[in-house]
Each structure stands twice: as C-alpha cells, then as structure tokens.
Amino acid sequence: MNDNQTSPIKVTVTGAAGNIAYSLLWRIGSGEVFGRDQRVDLTLSDIPSSMSVVEGVAMELNDSALHCVASVNLSDDPKTSFDGVQAAFLVGAKPRGKGESRADMLAANGKIFIDQGRAINEHAADDLRVVVVGNPANTNAYILNKAAPDVSSESITALMRLDHNRTLSMLANKFRTDGGDFGDVHSEEFQHVAVWGNHGDTQFPDLSYASARGTKLSEVLDQDWYVNDMIPRVAHRGAEIIEVRGKSSAASAASAAVDHMRDWYAGSNGKWVTAAVVSKGEYGVDPGLVFGMPVVGENGCLSVVEDLEISDFQRPRIDANIEALRAEAQLADELF
C-alpha cells in the first residue's frame, strides 16, 4: 500500500450475520475485489435481531487486521447502511418458510428490497455498484431497480456468476475424466461461456459459442451429456449442495460474488462472464427484467455482449427464463 492511494471505498454487505458474509467479508478485506492497493470502509448490515451476531463478526474482522480494511461499521438501518455506499453486496434475504408460497416469499423480500432501494436512491454515491445475492436474486434486483428511480439501471445487477462458475468447473471435470484425444482442460481455459436467464430451475448454461484452445466445444464435447446431464445439473447444483453438505452454498457463493464485483470494477480482460443485468431489450428480454447474459467487464462497466446469433436450440430455453421472470415481476409489481 503506498501513500498515494485514494480514499477508502465504501462497501456495504447486508446479511452480515449469515453464512455467505462470513466468507465474503474476509475476501473483500484481503483486497481480492478492489485490489491490494485499495482500502475499504466496510459496513456490516443486518436486521436488528441479528445484530449481536454481527457484532461478533465485526470483532473477528478487526482481530484479523486485514490488509485492506480501513474501518468496520455496523448498521441495522438502511439509511445509515447505504450512506455514501459505492459497492453493495445485498446478501440478506428472507428464506422461504414452511408452507409459504413463492408469492409469500416474494412479498417478504419485496418489502426488504423496496426499503433498501429507497435508501439507496436517497443516500448512495454516484459511482454505485450493486450485486444482489439474496434470493430470488433476479427479482429482488428488479424490485430494487424500480424502487431507486434516480439510480442508473447499469448500477444494479444480480449474481449469476455462481451458475457460470459451476458450468466451467463441470466442463473442466468432464474433460479431465473423459476428454479423449482433446485431453485435460482447466476451467479458466474455456471461452465464450454464458448462463442465460434466472438464478433458478429454468437457467440456461449455454455452450453455443464456447471454445477451448481455439476449438469449438461442439466439436469435442458429447452433446448428449451437455444437454441431458450438464444443463439440469448446473440448474440443480444448489439443491445438490444442500443434500450433501446439509447447508446451502456459502463459500462458493461468496467466491462468485467476489468474481462478479472484481470483474465489474477492474475489468474481465476481454473475457465473457455472466451477470444478471437490467435488460434494455437485448435478445427479446423485456426491458427492466434482470436477466443473466454474457457480459464483458470494461472501463468500470459490465457491457452485454451484443448481436449474437440465437439458434432454434437456444431460443426456447431463453424464452422459458423470460416467462419465469415476467411472472415474478408481475407479482413484484403488485407490491408497489
């Protein structure tokens, strides 16, 4: 860290008492998101009933004397949580309770994200970047965007990077165990992979443009495995983790959130990644829906990869996500 470094970036993490935050906060504090030369003022936000746990998390963060942490602050009030915020990880959300319908869950979360959206609208900094992690992530981000009309829609995203990373790692595992003459391929070698749509059952991990070492994957990958095994396995990976681990994905979700914000802030070096962004009507997606798309991080923005040709194989899979998110958005609209 040199003397010329700029002032600390204001970073807020909601759901700070939860599992994902317990991994995420340390990765941010170590410089893995904004770089080792950039300090951060961290605000740990949660609901009042979780604040004693947050106090403990803050004590441990302080005890870690992390390289990039300038200060650790606590807040259970959205106005304070988002005062001057430049990067927000919205992890806190209410899970679906026993006997609750999806509409009930949306209503509970709708209230959270309307309140947070209004506070962000009033209090956030101009160079704001938001990633919504709490589920239903895409529709929570849709609600937030609607509740914050003065904030640029380009500042609001939802996390689909975990689905993207799961796709890369399943591909790498397939080539490692069954790569034939093509052989072993590391997850970082795959290019032009994207996951379209919703962080839910309908999501579409798309290999139509994908390649490794200059070879199209369609020429070297078992298409039956891709369509019938890989696509549903990526979509249901969260449930698989819960079944095996007994708890939902936490470190991998935090890692994906780190990747998402880092590539947004510092760029993805021309590489395609996946983020759910507020649609401007690209690829037939209703404007306003928050939709997983291929993006490139450049000049501090996430730019959607445009003018891709969409085949008859892709179209119905993308459309299924448009329909799912449109239905959720209709329920969400009733909350305003």
Q: Which residues are known to be catalytic?
A: 199
Token pair, residue 317, equals 């899979």
Tokens representing 321?
């996500």
Residue 127 is classified by DSSP as T
The 85-124 site mask, x for binding ligand NAX (CB under 6 A), equals: ------xxxxx----------------x------------
Residue closer to ligand NAX (CB basis): 91 or 207: 91
What torsion do the CA atoms of 310, 311, 316, 321 make, to the nearest 10 degrees? -30
Q: Quick one: which of 80, 248, 303, 314 contacts ligand NAX (CB under 6 A)?
A: 248
CA distance 207 to 192: 8
User: Does the annotation place 96 within a ligand binding site?
Assistant: yes
233 in a labelled binding site: no
Any binding-site annotation on 145?
no
Asked if 16 and 44 count as a contact pair (C-beta separation under 8 A), the reply is yes
Between 133 and 230, CB nearer to ligand NAX = 133
| Helix 251-266 vs helix 161-178: crossing angle, to nearest 10 | 110
Q: Does 133 bind ligand NAX (CB under 6 A)?
A: yes
* Of positions 41, 46, 83, 328, contacts ligand NAX by CB under 6 A: 46
The C-alpha atoms of residue 294 and residue 215 are separated, in whole angstroms, by 19
Stretch that binds ligand NAX, among 129-137, 211-219, 290-298, 328-336 (CB under 6 A): 129-137
178 is in an annotated binding site: no
- What b/e readout covers 165-185, taking b as 16+ CB neighbours within 10 angstroms? bbbbbbbbebbeeeeeeeeeb
Cα separations in angstroms, 4 against 7, 8, 38, 71:
9, 12, 10, 19
167 touches ligand NAX by CB under 6 A: no
| From 9, 11, 18, 235, residue interacting with ligand NAX (rule: CB under 6 A) | 18
- Contact call for residue 253 and ligand NAX (CB under 6 A): yes
Instruction: Measure the CA–CA gap between 36 and 189, rounded to whole angstroms.
Output: 25
Cα–Cα distance between 305 and 153 in angstroms, integer?
17
164 binds ligand NAX (CB under 6 A): no
Question: Which one of the spans 9-17, 27-35, 182-190, 312-320 is the region binding ligand NAX (CB under 6 A)?
Answer: 9-17
Beta carbon of residue 312, minimum distance to ligand NAX (angstroms, whole number): 29
Least distance in Å: CB of 122 to ligand NAX?
17
CB of 90 to ligand NAX, least distance (A): 8
The verdict on whether residue 46 carries a ligand-binding annotation is: yes
Query: For the chain, how many helices (H) and strands (E)?
Result: 12, 14
How many residues bind ligand NAX (CB under 6 A)? The answer is 29
Strands 215-216 and 194-196: unpaired
Please say which residue, 155 or 274, places its beta carbon nearer to ligand NAX: 274
Candidates 224, 170, 225, 223; CA nearest to 195 is 170
Burial of 208 by CB count in 10 Å (0-12 exposed, 13-18 middle, 19+ buried)?
middle
Residue selected from 125, 220, 250, 305 as contacting ligand NAX according to rule CB under 6 A: 250
Q: Residue holding tokens 């093509």?
A: 182
Footprint of ligand NAX on 265-324 (CB under 6 A): none
According to DSSP, the β-strands at 69-75 and 301-304 are unpaired
Least spacing, CB of residue 162 vs ligand NAX, in Å:
4
Is residue 199 part of the contact set for ligand NAX (CB under 6 A)?
Answer: yes
Residues that constitute the known binding site for substrate:
96, 102, 135, 166
Residues that constitute the known binding site for NAD(+):
46, 109, 133-135
The site for ligand NAX (CB under 6 A) is made up of 14-15, 17-21, 45-47, 50, 91-95, 112, 133-135, 137, 159, 162, 199, 238, 248-250, 253
